[in-house]
Amino acid sequence: MSVREAPPVPDVFDPRRYAAGVPYADYRLLRDHHPVAWQEEPEVLGWPAGPGFWAVTRHADVVRVLKDASGYSSYLGATQIRDPDPEDLPFIRSMMLNQDPPQHGRLRRLVSRAFTPGRIERFADVARQRARTLLAGALAQARAGDGTADLVAAVTDEYALLNLTDLLGVPARDRRLLLHWTQRVIGYQDPDEAGPAVLDGAGELVDPRSPAMLRDMFAYAGQLAAFKRRYPADDILTTLAHDAELTQAELEMFFFLLTVAGNDTVRSAAPGGLLALAEHPESYELLRAGKVGMQSAVDELLRWHPPVLTFRRTAERDTELAGQQIRAGDKVVVFHASANRDERVFTGPGRLDLARSPNPHVSFGDGPHVCLGAHFARLQLRLLYEEALRVLPAPRLAGPPGRLVSNFINGLKSLPVYVV
């Protein structure tokens, strides 16, 4: 097929599409015919129209963009497809996720002092027991009812939340606040997650991710940091609160980042992995029989169901990507889920292969912004899957999973399965 005969560019922007599943067929069409494709950004779900963006869908191009911080900036327009309110942008840029080197490197080094492998490993016994307890509760619920359980409500939401609050050092009485903030920020496109819409004086939607809407979260972070200075403990927030190099604003933004990104990475990946195993019972049995290693299985399940669908950059200068001319200031959006199914990199990408090696998936990103908590996330997923294999027969779907309305997070709101 010549370029002139290439099929039209499909819409992979509309967040409502993702409630029916990730559009992998359209991703493949883009990879094959339009690897860097212009996407319109119309008004959707009450959010105003945007200027449009370039969708980058091949693995090599995704990696190139993520590694080239000098050419594709996280700072200029932040990292979400939708442009933030210009009044909010200076504050949003103070978050590590939305900075470029060298400023990004400074903040990453500071938080890395707290996010050490040793501290994370000490949580392993607690996390394993938590997974065991939650799975036992799901089994008891199923046995008392119709043999089914919603693994999101019964297991994975609580598992991700409680592990994170342990690591941060959030008191038990405050833990539900973190889930509330996560749902508000991550699920802002989904009416079930975002809560009641808030309108400004002009009758337009107020972005729930704006600093004005998150004052309660930042105030809480400051209060908790002050408490940790008086009563230190072995947790990340104590370490950050005692770091003289961190400003108060930087500490509060770290709390925001760790709360939202740290919670939702596992909160999205864990049910996604369990869904994949329910849909592939032969793979579940191989894993249960010890014929496949858990380490490779965790990474293949992450490739199959990446927690993050997209990240945005902004072109620093006029450039070219995969033959496409890009202008300075254009939004460039990488599609992780598409890169993970690229036939140019993965043999049989549409096949779940728990022994896949090598497996260069980009579910945790690449380049300077590669996920700081990837080790912690893999540990949690491994422990949860090990405990599920120990107590659950091969789970079977009891109905379609409920998927998040989002072009950012590959989230599951429900996962009903037969577990007895």
Closest to 208 (Cα-Cα) out of 176, 174, 178, 181: 181
Within 8 A by CB and 6+ apart from 166, the residues are 123, 126, 127, 235
pLDDT of residue 189: 67
63: CATH: 1.10.630.10
Alpha helices in 55-102 (DSSP H): 59-67, 89-92
Q: Dihedrals φ, ψ of 23, to 5°?
A: -80, 70
pLDDT of residue 27: 98
224: number of Cβ within 10 Å: 21
pLDDT of residue 1: 46
pLDDT of residue 397: 96
Q: β-strand 36-39 against 396-397: which pairing, if any?
A: unpaired
Beta bridge partners of 199: 205
Q: What percent of the chain has pLDDT over 70?
A: 92
> What mean pLDDT, rounded, does the chain reach?
90
Q: How confident is the model at residue 199 (pLDDT cuts 50, 70, 90)?
A: very low
Contact 55, 36 (CB under 8 A): yes
Taking residues 48-73, report their average pLDDT.
96
Closest to 398 (Cα-Cα) out of 138, 179, 159, 132: 138
Alpha helices in 43-199 (DSSP H): 59-67, 89-92, 103-112, 117-122, 124-144, 151, 157-168, 175-186, 191-194
Contact 331, 81 (CB under 8 A): yes
pLDDT of residue 42: 94
Q: pLDDT (tens digit, 9 = 90+) per residue, 146-176?
A: 999 999 999 999 999 999 898 889 988 888 8
CA 300 to each of CA 53, 163, 193, 365: distance values in angstroms, whole numbers, following the listed order:
29, 22, 28, 15
Dihedral angle of Cα 227, 179, 110, 209, to the nearest 10 degrees: -110
Beta bridge partners of 44: 47
Q: What percent of the chain has pLDDT over 90?
A: 66
Q: What one-letter code names the amino acid at 320?
A: E
Closest to 137 (Cα-Cα) out of 149, 122, 125: 149
Q: How confident is the model at residue 48 (pLDDT cuts 50, 70, 90)?
A: confident
Within 8 A by CB and 6+ apart from 256, the residues are 95, 214, 217, 218, 221
Highest mean pLDDT among 90-99, 111-120, 140-149: 140-149
Taking residues 262-269, report their average pLDDT.
88
pLDDT of residue 84: 86
Q: Please tell me whether residue 163 adopts helix, strand or coil conformation.
A: helix
Q: pLDDT (tens digit, 9 = 90+) per residue, 112-138?
A: 887 777 777 788 889 999 999 999 999
Contact 114, 258 (CB under 8 A): no
| Maximum Cα–Cα distance across the chain | 68
Contact 66, 366 (CB under 8 A): yes
367: number of Cβ within 10 Å: 16
Residue 61 tokens read as: 């191009």
Using the structure block, give the residue that is written with the tokens 């008891």: 140
Alpha helices in 280-340 (DSSP H): 281-288, 294-304, 336-339
Overall domain count for the chain: 1
Q: Dihedrals φ, ψ of 289, to 5°?
A: -80, 0
Contact 241, 229 (CB under 8 A): yes
Residue 396 tokens read as: 């079977």
pLDDT of residue 212: 63
Residue 201 has pLDDT above 60, yes or no: no
Q: Which domain holds residue 381?
A: 3-418
pLDDT of residue 177: 83
CA-CA distance, 60 to 64, in Å (whole number)?
Answer: 6
